[in-house]
Structure 1
Amino acid sequence: MAVWLEIIVRTLVAVVVLFGLTKLLGKRQISQLSLFEYITGITIGDLAATVSIDVNSDWYLGMIAMAVWASISLGIEFIQIKSKKGRNFIDGSSTVLIQNGKILEDNLKKEKLTNEELLEQLRKKNVFKAAEVEFALIEPDGEINVLLKKEYQPITPSHLGIKVAPEPEPQAVILDGEIMDEPLATLGFNRQWLNTELQKLGVTLDNVYLGQVDGYGQFYVDLYDDLLQVPEPQEKPYLLAQLKKCEADLEMFALSIKDPIGKKMYGDCSTQMIQIINQVKPILSQ
Structure 2
Amino acid sequence: MAEHIEVILRSIGAFVLLLIGARILGKQTLSQMTIFDFIAAISLGSIAANLAFNLSIKSHHIGLSFIIFVAVAYFIAFVSLKNRKARKFFAGDPTIIIQNGKILEHNMKKMRYTLDYLNQQLREKDVFTIEEVLFALIETNGSLTVLKKPQFRSVTKQDIAALLTPEQRLPIELIMDGEIIEKNLTENELSHSWLNAELAKRQVSIKEVVYAVLAANGNVYVDTYNDHITSPIDQE
Amino acid of the structure 2 residue aligned with 1:8: I
- What does residue 140 of structure 2 align with? 140
Question: Which whole-Å CA distance do the structure 2 matches of 1:102 and 1:51 have between them?
Answer: 51
- What does residue 123 of structure 2 align with? 123
* Structure 2 unpaired stretches of 5+: 162-236
TM-score (norm 2): 0.63
By percentage of residues, which structure has more helix? Answer: 1
Secondary structure, aligned partner of 2:60: helix
For the 8 Å contact 1:10–1:52, the answer to whether it is kept is yes
For the 8 Å contact 2:34–2:142, the answer to whether it is kept is no
For the 8 Å contact 2:22–2:29, the answer to whether it is kept is no
Superposed displacement of residue 62, structure 1: 0.3
Amino acid of the structure 1 residue aligned with 2:42: I
Amino acid of the structure 1 residue aligned with 2:152: Y
Secondary structure, aligned partner of 2:126: coil
> Residues 37-48 of structure 1: matches in 2 within 5 Å?
37-48=37-48
Question: Which whole-Å CA distance do the structure 1 matches of 2:114 and 2:11 have between them?
Answer: 44
Superposed displacement of residue 30, structure 1: 5.0
- What does residue 151 of structure 2 align with? 151
Percent of residue pairs bearing the same amino acid type = 36
For the 8 Å contact 2:93–2:139, the answer to whether it is kept is yes
Superposed displacement of residue 131, structure 1: 0.8
Question: Which whole-Å CA distance do the structure 1 matches of 2:30 and 2:116 have between them?
Answer: 24
Q: CA RMSD in A?
A: 1.9
Question: Which whole-Å CA distance do the structure 2 matches of 1:102 and 1:160 have between them?
Answer: 25
| Count of aligned residue pairs for this structure pair | 161
Superposed displacement of residue 92, structure 1: 0.6
> Residues 32-71 of structure 1: matches in 2 within 5 Å?
32-71=32-71
Secondary structure, aligned partner of 1:66: helix
Amino acid of the structure 1 residue aligned with 2:53: I
Superposed displacement of residue 31, structure 1: 5.2
Post-superposition Cα deviations, 1:177-221, rounded to whole Å, max 9, x if no partner, equal xxxxxxxxxxxxxxxxxxxxxxxxxxxxxxxxxxxxxxxxxxxxx
Question: Which whole-Å CA distance do the structure 2 matches of 1:58 and 1:106 have between them?
Answer: 50
For the 8 Å contact 1:31–1:141, the answer to whether it is kept is no
> Residues 34-113 of structure 1: matches in 2 within 5 Å?
34-113=34-113
Secondary structure, aligned partner of 1:151: helix
* Structure 1 unpaired stretches of 5+: 162-286
Question: Which whole-Å CA distance do the structure 2 matches of 1:53 and 1:67 have between them?
Answer: 18
Distance 1:125 1:93, change over 3 A: same
Secondary structure, aligned partner of 1:89: helix
Question: Which whole-Å CA distance do the structure 1 matches of 2:71 and 2:88 have between them?
Answer: 21
Superposed displacement of residue 54, structure 1: 2.6
Larger radius of gyration: 1
Secondary structure, aligned partner of 1:127: coil
Higher relative contact order (CA 8 A, sep 6+): 2
Question: Which whole-Å CA distance do the structure 1 matches of 2:38 and 2:62 have between them?
Answer: 19
- What does residue 223 of structure 2 align with? none
Most deviating of 152-161 and 108-117: 152-161
Question: Which whole-Å CA distance do the structure 1 matches of 2:53 and 2:114 have between them?
Answer: 44
Post-superposition Cα deviations, 1:131-183, rounded to whole Å, max 9, x if no partner, equal 1111111111111111111111112355569xxxxxxxxxxxxxxxxxxxxxx
Superposed displacement of residue 29, structure 1: 5.8
Superposed displacement of residue 63, structure 1: 0.2
